[in-house]
Amino acid sequence: MFWNEKIETMPREELTALQSERLRKIVAYVYERVPFYQEKFDELGIKPEDIRGVEDLTKLPFTKKTDLRDHYPFGLFAVPREELIRIHASSGTTGKPTVVGYTRNDLQVWAEVCARCFALSGAKPGDMFQNAYGYGLFTGGLGMHYGAEYMGISVIPVSGGNTARQIMILKDFQPDVMACTPSYALTLADRLLEEGVDPKDLRVRVFILGAEPWTEEMRQELESKLHVDAVNIYGLSEIIGPGVSNECIEAKDGMHIMEDHFLPEIIDPETGEPLPEGEIGELVFTTLTKEALPLIRYRTGDLCSITYEKCKCGRTHARMSRVLGRADDMLIVRGVNVFPSQIESALLNIEHIAPHYCIVLTRENHLDVMEVQVEVTEDFFREVGDEVFAGHTVEVVEEVHELEQVVRRRLWETLGLNTRVKLLGPGEAPRSEGGKLRRVIDKRNLQ
Ligand code: ADP
Ligand code: ZN
């Protein structure tokens, strides 16, 4: 199903013309209203009229997360505070959060793009939606909420966490659609199975999952455990929140970007030069219609690739690949670049290994040591005997030793790096309690 068929299937030429027209407008708009951009343009000697269309995009300066921080909280806003009707902020793991604002029109655009995400995910008017994204400053909850209402889906605004309540609602209200982080979907799936709930008795047919990196292997795991379709949604507060892109349920092969509102580029993160179609680099967005916080060439820090190939769903909008991770999530271990998502891919297909893991980095004799801690399955645990795992130290029992070797070999094949492996008993690795899960514990600079 399409939500806005004309836009979603617009021929590329028309779409480019629309983007160009909107780009000209937004460039003039920020030059006039945001001193930060006026100064930047002046420094580079660019006048708004130099930007005639998307072909001139690369003449424009980048905007970075630090620019938002330097102008904390409202310094990059293009409208007076009286015109704002909503404020959100991203968590900001260190220091102050990144603050974003919305005008009435921005909220309308946001509802529109989120409604398209529901359509992409196979949801339709009349469905019921359990929204387990966090409500509050985080954009996930309210963003999806208004998109669903706009489409005519009834929302259960349960917010993140409280797994017992989530399960009660899944069983008693029988929603058709659910949204949360992929790590939380795994927590839910395990709890349902533990409680003997057969997912086939639930009506929910699709999970819309995002806000953190996940893998194809995790999709297989979740789809088979929950008997649902699991689709990927992407977004970030600076650009709007959820709703920047979403996979179509027909292909599940890359997330369609709402290109009439967000103009994407992929650049080389080192040089800033644009990369050819299909190459992995840093994703950059220019907002084409945002009023309160328009951003020019905003560097997301997220690494992925983009394809403009036709999709079997009939939509013409470009698709971005799964996000490997943020540039700052990349671990450099003994000079080798490692993304946690690569570790997830490597682990998830190993027999007797459960999809719960974490990564601990330490330094020994000035050398980085990466330990991958991963749980064994319940079956394996019962088979080898739980006393083997007692006290969190795995004694060398042959089967355990063999499994460790298998994991280590698989990690070596994937990463080209020697890792330590620690097998954990069921329930010992961290779980998502509702939101994004941090799986990396980096102690290297604490030692
Ligand atoms: P915070 O900085 O607090 O995490 P956001 O909620 O705005 O704030 O986070 C946006 C970021 O979350 C994105 O830049 C990206 O790194 C990550 N993200 C969002 N959706 C996905 C997804 N589907 N796959 C991978 N990463 C995602
Ligand atoms: Zn598609």
Per-residue confidence (pLDDT) for residue 329, from 0 to 100: 84
Per-residue confidence (pLDDT) for residue 382, from 0 to 100: 86
Distance between CA atoms of 352 and 377, rounded to whole angstroms? 5
CA of 4 to the centre of ligand 2 (A): 14
Q: Sketch the domain layout of the chain as residue ranges.
A: 1-328, 331-446
Q: What predicted TM-score, i.e. pTM, was given to this entire model?
A: 0.95
CA of 306 to the centre of ligand 2 (A): 13
Distance between CA atoms of 231 and 157, rounded to whole angstroms? 20
Q: What is the pLDDT of residues 212-240, one digit of tens each?
A: 999 999 999 999 999 999 999 999 999 99
Of the listed ligands, the closest to the CA of 329 is 1
Q: What is the pLDDT of residues 263-320, one digit of tens each?
A: 999 999 999 999 999 999 999 999 999 999 999 999 999 999 999 999 999 999 999 9
Per-residue confidence (pLDDT) for residue 80, from 0 to 100: 98
Distance between CA atoms of 280 and 325, rounded to whole angstroms? 11
Superfamily of structural domain 331-446: ANL, C-terminal domain (3.30.300.30)
Q: Which CATH code, of 3.40.50.12780, 3.90.1150.10, 3.40.30.10, 3.90.550.10, is assigned to 1-328? A: 3.40.50.12780
Residue nearest to atom 9 of ligand 1 (CA): 236
Residue 237: CB within 6 Å of ligand 1?
A: yes
CA of 213 to the centre of ligand 1 (A): 8
CA of 211 to the centre of ligand 1 (A): 4
Residue at token pair 């941090």: 438
Provide the token pair at 5: 């068929």
Residue 243: CB within 6 Å of ligand 1?
A: no
Per-residue confidence (pLDDT) for residue 385, from 0 to 100: 67
Residues of the chain with pLDDT under 70: 92-94, 385-396, 447
Distance between CA atoms of 166 and 186, rounded to whole angstroms? 13
Distance between CA atoms of 181 and 439, rounded to whole angstroms? 14
Provide the token pair at 424: 């954990």
Per-residue confidence (pLDDT) for residue 392, from 0 to 100: 44
Hey, which residues does 245 pair with through a beta bridge? 234, 257
Per-residue confidence (pLDDT) for residue 445, from 0 to 100: 85
Residue 323: CB within 6 Å of ligand 1?
A: yes
What 3 state SS string does 335-404 have? CEEECHHHHHHHHHCCCCEEEEEEEEEEEECCEEEEEEEEEECHHHHHHHCHHHHHHHCCCCCHHHHHHH
Residue nearest to atom 13 of ligand 1 (CA): 236
Q: Which of 212, 247, 258, 319 to mutate to test the pocket of ligand 1 (most atoms within 8 A of CB)?
A: 212
Per-residue confidence (pLDDT) for residue 388, from 0 to 100: 62
Give the residue from 63, 142, 62 showing the smallest Cα distance to 98: 63
Q: Which atom of ligand 1 is nearest to the CA of 97?
A: 3
Q: Which residues neighbour ligand 2 (ion) by CB within 5 Å?
A: 248, 251, 311, 313, 315
What backbone torsions phi and psi does residue 299 show, to the nearest 5 degrees? -85, 110
Per-residue confidence (pLDDT) for residue 386, from 0 to 100: 64
Residue nearest to atom 11 of ligand 1 (CA): 236
Provide the token pair at 224: 């088979």
Per-residue confidence (pLDDT) for residue 91, from 0 to 100: 73
Per-residue confidence (pLDDT) for residue 212, from 0 to 100: 94
Residue 341: CB within 6 Å of ligand 1?
A: no
